[in-house]
């Protein structure tokens, strides 16, 4: 270091020893000193010196304080005060004074977003409380700083999109992940909550019979009113359709009611479940929920491949043809011609019959125009392996439905060891001896070839031929026995057996079974001569038609079109949501270079264009972010094309504001706050014991923290010093006649 300094001094002295202009000794000394200081500073900084300082004390530690200011904080169940008033009092008095005397505190309000706040200005007017997002934002805001811990004053309602609901959601783990500052949560409000009646949920079943009827499942709860009866009613587009007086089984026990309604097949219908307000009930925002039933849409196309003409084919296709929501194409093998080749009788819509003249579509594009495929009494060697693989892809990739029925389809090895084997919901042989009898209740053993419903079958939309599960069970019990039934094996994992029968040897075997496979659905019907349910009953009995029509609808309804629109479930006003449009070609391959135009129609009728972008450059998905502020019914319309070739169009309806998440279960949610605190290494306490938080925070401050290291080269003054020395030398040189 000494040698380097001497060398620098020698170079500078030599430069100013014989200057071009005459200098006095003082002037030469000043310039030499400035140059030496400049070079010395640069050399010093090249060695990257650091300054080590002792660690900061607890007074310099930061404590962010997060206060929930959502609407649920208006409830007056915090020691006679509103929840937000109790939080304000804690910050003004014992908790706030103790924190400010020991730490550097920063107050934030938590509503739809995190915002700086002042004590006394906190008001419970935020639409929701995104606690999960707020905690993540605070950690990011104070990253790298000395934070003793985070204090949260809340009723535990995490109602942002990440939290999902004010109930015992699963966001506590995400909100309180270990690794950041510990969270010390203070619960504001009463864990018992006020007296309250709430509609917990309203859901719809699969529509039955051309959307002529839909079951609305309504769940409600009454807390604090004992077993006092209350009214529960259902409205359709604002008109009262049904009203009931229900009696809770016990205080706080949920009530489940089923309402059967008839939606408009051409227009969207918004159904509302509502509990009229009780004068003693402080929370009425959770007394109502809405659900949307979209219009039926286009007819669902079904391809029926029949091994031979017969009663089953005639009655089954006649039942489907009577459903105005279905479009049936059928191929029936008649026999062989003089050359020994199969001949077929084809009934199909315009433009589709040519693809069926050989008995089965030869190309994916020809098969994928259908929503469901029925293979009835056709032996497996009728199909090529490529056709069977295409049928399997029809279910798994295209999202279509598959029904296999009839003895020939299951005879000998049937479809075993073919690409369709895994698609079907049951084993195709009886290696396991059918179904274990212990799955049935006492006295439930069906008679030989007599069909008996399982518990799942009583409520499944395929088997629901009565107005209620009990009526459905009675109607099935009254139907004649089948002529025979294939002895299939047990269900595959995830499959559901809907109906059973017994073989002559006493084994119990599935007759009707279903499963979801890939993007689609599959079903088997192992019975023979189901037409008996039509010919051997009263002419007014429509069980046969109901069964087959509901089966075709269940299989075909979920099948997507080439252009589809996806929207989130149950968005609320102000939510940041994503609208996704998928564009596919006729073979249902994603189209990455499609041109997609989309529009959004708001509840007031205003229509605007949606700008879409590629979600993934290699996929056919296009997305747009929206933030609808107005509650009500929205319509999204999208059209896609590749070049000048249209790919298709789609419409989707979305109801915004179907439920108010902020008041779902208005009690203090201690479970969520405990999880947040525990997962972060912090503690939870109720408001009455909030003074304990200060001691916990002091203990959380690291006592043996490492010294703070500061690199001088990165300090602004270091750069300023070098610039100042160089500038001073340059100015003096100019004044004294040097260049």
C-alpha closest to that of 372 among 344, 405, 343: 405
On whether both 270 and 230 belong to a single domain, the answer is yes
| Residue after which a domain boundary falls, among 540, 556, 572 | 556
Q: Does 19 have pLDDT greater than 70? A: no
Q: What is the mean pLDDT of residues 704-716?
A: 68
Nearest to 514, CA basis, from 503, 504, 501, 523: 523
What is the tally of structural domains in the chain? 5
Any idea which residue has 């030499």 for tokens? 32
**Rounded to an integer, what distance in angstroms lies between the CA atom of residue 320 and that of residue 554?**
13
| Each residue's pLDDT tens digit, 198-234 | 999 999 876 655 456 788 999 999 999 999 999 999 9
Q: Which residues pair with 607 in a beta bridge?
A: 601
pLDDT digits (tens, 9 = 90+) for 600-635: 999 989 999 999 999 888 889 999 999 999 999 999
pLDDT for residue 3: 60
Structural domain boundaries, residue 489? 300-556
Q: Are residues 366 and 513 in the same domain?
A: yes
Give the model confidence (pLDDT) of 104-129 as tens digits.
999 999 998 899 999 888 999 998 89
Predicted confidence at residue 442, as pLDDT, reads: 44
Asked whether residue 661 is assigned to any structural domain, the reply reads: no
Let me know whether 330 and 409 are in one domain.
yes
- For residue 346, give both structure tokens: 């084809």
What's the confidence (pLDDT) of residue 706? 59
Question: Average pLDDT of 317-340?
Answer: 87
Distance CA 131, CA 157 (A): 8
Contacts of 553 (CB under 8 A, 6+ apart): 206, 207, 208, 300, 323, 325, 326, 461
pLDDT band at 266 (very low <50, low <70, confident <90, very high): confident
Does the structure show a pLDDT above 50 at 651? yes
> Does pLDDT of 314 surpass 90?
no
Tell whether the model's pLDDT for residue 591 goes beyond 70: yes
Please tell me whether residues 73 and 128 are part of one structural domain: yes
Same-domain status, 50 and 62 = no
Q: How confident is the model at residue 123, as a pLDDT?
A: 92
What is the rounded distance in angstroms from the CA atom of residue 623 to the CA atom of residue 613?
5
**Looking at residues 11-20, what average pLDDT do you find?**
56
The token pair that represents 481 in the structure block: 């026995």
**How many angstroms separate the CA atoms of 686 and 185, rounded?**
8
Q: What is the CATH number of the domain that holds 471?
A: 3.40.50.880
Residue 538 CA to residue 604 CA, distance in Å, equals 51
User: Does residue 587 carry a pLDDT above 50?
Assistant: yes
Q: Which CATH number goes with the domain that contains 81?
A: 3.40.50.410
Q: Read off the CATH number of the domain in which 612 is found.
A: 2.60.40.10
Q: What's the pLDDT score for residue 176?
A: 52
**How far, in Å, CA of 159 to CA of 571, rounded?**
12
Provide the token pair at 429: 């042989």
Residues 392 and 485 in one domain: yes
Residue among 378, 437, 387 nearest 409 (CA): 378
Residue 179 lies in a domain: yes
CA 528, CA 446: separation in Å to the nearest integer?
A: 16
Residue 662: inside a domain? no
Encoded tokens for 536: 């051997």
Helix (H) or strand (E) holding 302: strand 300-306
> Average pLDDT over the chain, rounded to whole?
86
Crossing angle of helices 25-46 and 2-17, in 10° steps, is 140
Are 165 and 312 within one domain?
no
- DSSP per-residue string spanning 336-404: E-TTS-EEEEEE--TTTGGGGTTSS-SSHHHHTT-SEEEEES--GGGS-HHHHHHHHHHHHTT--EEEE
Band of residue 408 on the pLDDT scale cut at 50, 70, 90: confident
Does residue 377 surpass a pLDDT of 60? yes
CB atoms under 10 Å from CB of 629, counted, come to 11
**For the chain, counts of helices (H) and of strands (E):** 17, 34
Largest CA distance in the chain: 130
Are the C-beta atoms of 197 and 278 separated by less than 8 Å?
Answer: yes
Burial 500-516 (b: 16+ CB within 10 A, else e): bbbbeeeebbbbbbbbe
Range scoring the smallest mean pLDDT among 269-273, 368-372, 415-419, 583-587? 415-419
Residue 451 lies in a domain: yes
On whether both 375 and 508 belong to a single domain, the answer is yes
| Same domain assignment for residues 337 and 225 | no
Give percent of the chain with pLDDT exceeding 70: 88
Residue 616 is encoded by which pair of tokens? 């993934």
**Angle, CA 659 vertex, CA 76 and CA 207 arms, to 5°:** 150
Q: Which two tokens stand for residue 351?
A: 């433009």
Lowest-pLDDT choice from 36-40, 274-278, 605-609: 36-40
CA angle at residue 586 from 582 to 591, to 5 degrees? 40
Q: How confident is the model at residue 431 (pLDDT cuts 50, 70, 90)?
A: low
C-alpha span between 41 and 445 (Å, rounded): 97
Question: Is residue 692 domain-resident?
Answer: yes
Same domain, 13 and 87: no
Q: Which domain-ending residue is among 536, 556, 576?
A: 556
Q: What is the mean pLDDT of residues 306-330?
A: 88
pLDDT tens, 224-245? Answer: 999 999 999 999 999 999 999 9
Residue 48 pLDDT greater than 60, yes or no? yes
The reply to whether 446 falls in a domain is: yes
Of the residues 244, 262, 293, the one at which a domain ends: 293
Question: Among residues 666, 662, 658, which one has the least CA distance to residue 288?
Answer: 658
pLDDT score recorded for residue 412: 66
pLDDT, position 170: 43
pLDDT in tens, 513-538: 999 999 999 999 988 888 899 999 89
Domain annotation covers residue 513: yes
Please tell me whether residues 384 and 468 are part of one structural domain.
yes
Are β-strands 183-187 and 150-154 bridged in parallel, bridged antiparallel, or unpaired?
parallel
User: Would you state the pLDDT for residue 168?
Assistant: 39
What is the predicted pLDDT for the residue at 16?
Answer: 54
Q: State which of 340-344, 452-456, 633-637 shows the largest mean pLDDT.
A: 633-637
Asked if residue 444 and residue 415 are part of one domain, the reply reads yes
Q: Is the dihedral of CA 484, 487, 488, 490 positive or negative?
A: positive
Cβ neighbour number for residue 433 with a 10 Å cutoff: 14
- State the pLDDT at residue 165: 45
Residue 338 lies in a domain: yes
């Amino acid at each position: 270091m000494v040698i380097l300094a001497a060398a620098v001094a020698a170079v500078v002295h030599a430069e100013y020893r014989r200057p071009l202009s005459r200098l006095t000794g003082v002037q030469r000394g000043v310039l030499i000193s400035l140059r030496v200081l400049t070079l010395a500073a640069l050399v010093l900084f090249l060695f990257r010196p650091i300054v080590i300082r002792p660690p900061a004390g607890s007074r310099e530690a930061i404590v962010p304080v997060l206060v929930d200011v959502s609407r649920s904080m208006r409830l007056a169940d915090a020691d006679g005060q509103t929840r937000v008033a109790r939080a304000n009092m804690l910050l003004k008095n014992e908790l706030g004074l103790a924190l400010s005397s020991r730490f550097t505190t920063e107050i934030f309000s938590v509503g739809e977003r995190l915002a700086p706040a002042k004590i006394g200005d906190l008001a419970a007017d935020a639409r929701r409380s995104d606690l999960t997002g707020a905690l993540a934002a605070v950690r990011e805001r104070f990253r790298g700083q000395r934070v003793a811990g985070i204090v949260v004053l809340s009723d535990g309602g995490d109602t942002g999109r990440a939290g999902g609901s004010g109930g015992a959601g699963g966001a506590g783990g995400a909100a309180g992940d270990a690794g950041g500052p510990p969270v010390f949560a203070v619960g504001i409000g009463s864990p018992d909550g006020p007296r309250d009646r709430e509609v917990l949920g309203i859901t719809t079943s699969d529509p039955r019979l051309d959307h002529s009827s839909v079951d609305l499942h309504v769940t409600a709860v009454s807390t604090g009113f004992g077993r006092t009866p209350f009214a529960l009613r259902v409205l359709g587009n604002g008109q009262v359709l049904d009203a009931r007086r229900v009696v809770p089984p016990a205080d706080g026990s949920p009530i489940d009611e089923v309402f059967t309604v008839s939606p408009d097949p051409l227009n969207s219908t918004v159904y509302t479940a509502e509990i009229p307000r009780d004068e003693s009930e402080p929370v009425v925002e959770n007394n109502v929920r809405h659900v949307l039933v979209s219009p039926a849409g286009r007819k669902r196309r079904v391809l029926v491949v029949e091994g031979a003409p017969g009663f089953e084919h005639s009655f089954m296709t006649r039942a489907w043809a009577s459903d105005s929501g279905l479009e049936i194409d059928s191929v029936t093998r008649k026999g062989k011609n003089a050359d020994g080749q199969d001949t077929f009788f084809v009934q199909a819509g315009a433009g589709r019959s040519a693809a069926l003249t050989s008995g089965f579509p030869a190309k994916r594009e020809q098969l994928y125009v259908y929503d469901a495929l029925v293979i009835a009494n056709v032996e497996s060697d009728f199909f090529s392996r490529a056709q069977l693989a295409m049928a399997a892809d029809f279910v798994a990739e295209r999202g279509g439905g598959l029904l296999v029925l009839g003895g020939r389809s299951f005879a000998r090895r049937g479809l075993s060891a073919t690409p369709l084997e895994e698609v079907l919901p049951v084993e195709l042989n009886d290696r396991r001896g059918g179904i274990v009898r212990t799955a049935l209740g006492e006295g439930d053993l069906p008679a030989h070839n007599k069909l008996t419903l399982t518990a799942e079958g009583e409520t499944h939309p395929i088997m629901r031929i009565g107005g209620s599960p009990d009526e459905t069970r009675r109607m099935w019990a009254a139907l004649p026995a089948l002529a025979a039934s294939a002895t299939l094996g047990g269900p595959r994992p995830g499959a559901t057996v809907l109906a059973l029968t017994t073989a002559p040897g006493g084994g119990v075997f599935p007759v009707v079974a279903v499963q979801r496979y890939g993007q689609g659905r599959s079903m088997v019907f192992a019975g023979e001569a189901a037409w008996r349910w039509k010919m051997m009953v009263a002419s007014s009995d429509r069980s046969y038609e109901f069964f087959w029509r509901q089966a075709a609808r269940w299989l075909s309804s979920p099948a997507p079109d080439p252009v589809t629109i996806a929207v989130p479930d149950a968005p609320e006003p102000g939510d940041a949501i994503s609208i996704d449009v998928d564009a596919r070609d006729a073979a249902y391959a994603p189209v990455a270079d499609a041109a997609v135009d989309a529009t959004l129609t708001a509840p007031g009728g205003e229509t605007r264009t949606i700008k879409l972008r590629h979600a993934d450059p290699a996929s056919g998905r296009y997305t747009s972010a929206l933030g609808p502020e107005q509650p009500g019914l929205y319509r999204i319309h999208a059209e896609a094309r590749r070049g000048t070739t249209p790919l298709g169009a789609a419409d989707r309806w979305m109801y915004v504001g179907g439920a108010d998440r902020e008041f779902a279960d208005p009690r203090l949610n201690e479970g969520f706050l405990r999880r947040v605190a525990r997962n972060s290494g912090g503690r939870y306490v109720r408001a009455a014991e909030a003074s304990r938080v200060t001691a916990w925070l002091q203990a959380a401050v690291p006592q043996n923290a490492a010294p703070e290291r500061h690199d001088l080269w990165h300090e602004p003054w270091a750069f300023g010093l070098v610039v100042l020395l160089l500038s001073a030398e340059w100015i003096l040189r100019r004044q004294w006649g040097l260049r």
